Amino acid sequence: MLKVLVLVSGGGTNLQAIIDRVNDGTIQDTEIVGVLSNNYGVYALERAKNAGIKAEVIAPKDFPDRSAFNKAFLEKLDEYNPDLIVLAGFLVVIPEIVIRKYEGKMINIHPSLIPAFCGKGYYGLRVHEAALERGVKVTGATVHFVDAGTDTGPIILQKAVYIQDGDTAETLQKRVMEEAEWKILPEAISLIASGKVKYSS
Ligand code: GRF
């Protein structure tokens, strides 16, 4: 049984996609052991509760400085003893100590076809604005293992999404989520749970 801990910051639609695929048996041999959010009051926490999954907040603002948060963050992750940590729209920079400890056991979803529109500063709507500004005709999403860089780890899955006439960053964000993110994130977890994908640095 793969023990999965999901980290969120917001609405939690990617979390919901994972919950749904575990519940309908598409993802096998997997248990979501917890959900951690860095923000209070976000809907992702409700989604976890509705699914009977333990959900907690660990917020940098509750600690005197970043190094105190980083230490508490690592301790909190360790409490769940996860086999896999899934960053599902998690907007906190993952500290080095966590990356080192969970190398090969942490994946992230990014809303573009890496290496386009990724790295420092590319998160949320900004990614889609940049794609539209550049005038690309195809964008998409990428699931990758997390390493010490920003969006630089080994790629597990990608899915393309076509830009449509009249797209705004908002419409594009929505379509990338529906057509790509909600599909490839559960699929990547399934591949890891079944041993079909293994990390090699
Ligand atoms: C997604 O677009 C994800 O790619 C990005 O943050 C968003 C999270 O949305 N990193 P949600 O909380 O899963 O609805």
Question: Are 98 and 77 spatial neighbours (Cβ–Cβ below 8 Å)?
Answer: yes
Atom nearest to 110 CA in ligand 1: 4
Average pLDDT taken over every residue of the chain:
97
* Helix, strand, coil shares, percent, the chain, to 5: 40, 20, 40
69: left (phi over 0), alpha (psi -120 to 50) or beta: alpha
Is the per-residue pLDDT at 201 higher than 80?
no
Span from the CA of 98 to the centroid of ligand 1 (angstroms): 21
Is residue 200 predicted with pLDDT exceeding 90? no
- The single residue of 47, 110, 128, 144 carrying the catalytic annotation is 110
Nearest CA-CA partner of 85 in 58, 60, 103: 103
Please state, in angstroms and rounded to a whole number, the distance separating the CA atoms of residues 48 and 80: 15
Sorting pLDDT into bands at 50, 70 and 90, what band is 171?
Answer: very high
What is the reported pTM?
Answer: 0.96
